Amino acid sequence: MPTAAALDALNRSIGTDVRLWPFDINLSRAWSVALWGAGVITLDESKKIEKGLAAVAEKLAGGATPVPSDEDVHTMIDRMLHEEVGDVASKLHTGRSRNDQVATATRLWSMDACAKLDSSARMLQQVMLDHAEALQDVLMPAYTHLQRAQPVSAAHWMLSHFWPLERDRGRIASASRAAGVLPLGSGAIAGCAFPVSRVLLQGSLGFSALSQNSIDAVGDRDFVAELLFAVAMMATHLSRLSEDLIIYGSSEFGFVQFGDAFTTGSSMMPQKRNPDALELARGSGARAIGDLSTLLSTLKGLPSGYNKDLQDDKRVLFDAVDTALLVLPAVAGALQETRFNVTRMRAALSSNMMATDLADYLVEKGATFREAHGAIGALIRESERDGCDLDGLPLASFKAAHSLFGDDALDWLEPARSVARRDVPGGTSASAVRAQLRSAHEALWPVGEAARGNELVLRAI
């Protein structure tokens, strides 16, 4: 009895997994060599299969598409290989199962995706670094609870979005390492019954380790979960960056002006420039989080070994990675063409933001912090009553608020002074920000890589 059409329709994954073909071809080539090494097929048969696989790859690269009977990428390649080389094609499936095959292909795809994600994230970081270099001397308010809190260098704000991406790149590298464990040779569940060299397979396919347990190997999708988490975390960071920029681009803030290439006009209001790229980045973060939670929900109920539920891992994996690879260059482009309005940023600084500095002033003169806090609180209330900021109050008010206030009290309301005082590593003083820029540069261009670059230059000379 043939399977029901309704099951075929549900079961067919070719629409999603056809893109695994280059990886499935590679692992199949390696498998055919392994079968020869194990004495299962002759050298001649192995060569025939390899040639056939090369021809299949050429057809697929040239745009060959699946036929209706192709269930998934593995059966499609199997059909095409039969068309190329005839019966010998069926020998390729000796000792392997689609269970270890799909796990291997998905891992290869994931490692490749990690390399792409890393380089796209790096490009965005480079844009941030370029802006930060230019913004070192620009002052702006930093916000807590979205309330003006303290003045900072605008470069410090820009780099506050650089480091989260740096951590994301670390997580992507670690997800790539998690993917780099070879399951091929696990068969359907119990391991391969032929003496294939898994070590040679590992080396030829670029894996860094071998799976230790065939039951685990065919059902393990931790590497997908790790990559999805890395992507969801990065999407969250991109969403927060976008949110900052969208707020800063509103007329009320006016700290940034968006460019033309990454915004759209309104069909109705000619004055508008909508930050679509940033809004789409923020919006798509929700899907990345959904993709992660879909996979975890799938995994948590599964008995050990391969189960067909796992077929859907690729939908979420591809969706999350594809989206991230669309979002990263769009955010990089939008940020690159963003202009900073230095005057508006500076104008948003008010002397009340130096309240902590004034408290520190009293502490340096011998007051306790509690006492100082009380005195500044009284000054703030007085300024609110008078409808001005702290620098609108007369010196006499300061002296009345605390006897330790001297004639220099008002100098401490200068934002540049407040910024310069925060000279610890990780702080916002000019020299701390310079050091931070150096670290950011080193993170992006590790010394080893720079040296390789120099070598190339030297060789060219």
Q: Is 17 in the site for ligand ARG (CB under 6 A)?
A: yes
266 is a catalytic site residue: yes
Q: How many CA atoms lie within 13 A of 115 on its CB side?
A: 6
Q: Which stretch binds ligand ARG (CB under 6 A): 96-104, 222-230, 234-242, 316-324?
A: 96-104
Residue 4 Rama label (left phi>0; alpha psi -120 to 50; beta): beta
Cβ distance to ligand ARG smaller for residue 27 or 331: 27
Q: Is 28 in the site for ligand ARG (CB under 6 A)?
A: no
Site mask for ligand ARG (CB under 6 A), range 307-326, x = bound: ---xx---------------
Q: How far is the CB of 105 from ligand ARG (least distance, A)?
A: 9
Cβ distance to ligand ARG smaller for residue 45 or 72: 72
Q: How far is the CB of 220 from ligand ARG (least distance, A)?
A: 13
What is the DSSP secondary-structure string of 143-196? EETTEEEEEEEHHHHHHTTHHHHHHHHHHHHHHHHHH-EE-TT-TTTT--SS--
- Strand runs (DSSP E) across 323-391, as ranges? 339-340
Q: Is 299 in the site for ligand ARG (CB under 6 A)?
A: no
Q: How far is the CB of 103 from ligand ARG (least distance, A)?
A: 8
Strand, coil or helix: 340:
strand
Q: How far is the CB of 443 from ligand ARG (least distance, A)?
A: 37
Cβ distance to ligand ARG smaller for residue 17 or 168: 17
Please identify which of the residues 90, 208, 250, 266 carries the catalytic annotation. 266
Q: How far is the CB of 433 from ligand ARG (least distance, A)?
A: 49
Cβ distance to ligand ARG smaller for residue 35 or 310: 310
CA distance 81 to 53: 6
Q: Which stretch binds ligand ARG (CB under 6 A): 79-87, 163-171, 264-272, 305-313?
A: 305-313
Q: 353, exposed or middle or buried, with CB in 10 Å at 0-12, 13-18, 19+?
A: buried
What is the DSSP secondary-structure string of 250-296? STTT-SEE--STT-B--SS-TT--B-HHHHHHHHHHHHHHHHHHHHH
How many distinct helices (H) and strands (E) make up the chain? 20, 6
CA distance 192 to 295: 28
Whole-Å CA distances, 138 to 128, 222, 357, 376: 15, 45, 19, 27
221 neighbors 292 (Cβ within 8 angstroms): no
Q: Is 108 in the site for ligand ARG (CB under 6 A)?
A: no
Exactly one of 91, 96, 98, 282 binds ligand ARG (CB under 6 A); which one?
Answer: 98
Exactly one of 32, 99, 352, 383 binds ligand ARG (CB under 6 A); which one?
Answer: 99
Exactly one of 72, 78, 100, 220 binds ligand ARG (CB under 6 A); which one?
Answer: 72
145 is a catalytic site residue: yes
Q: Where on the chain is the footprint of ligand ARG (CB under 6 A)?
A: 13, 17, 72, 98-99, 102, 306, 310-311
Catalytic residue IDs: 145, 266
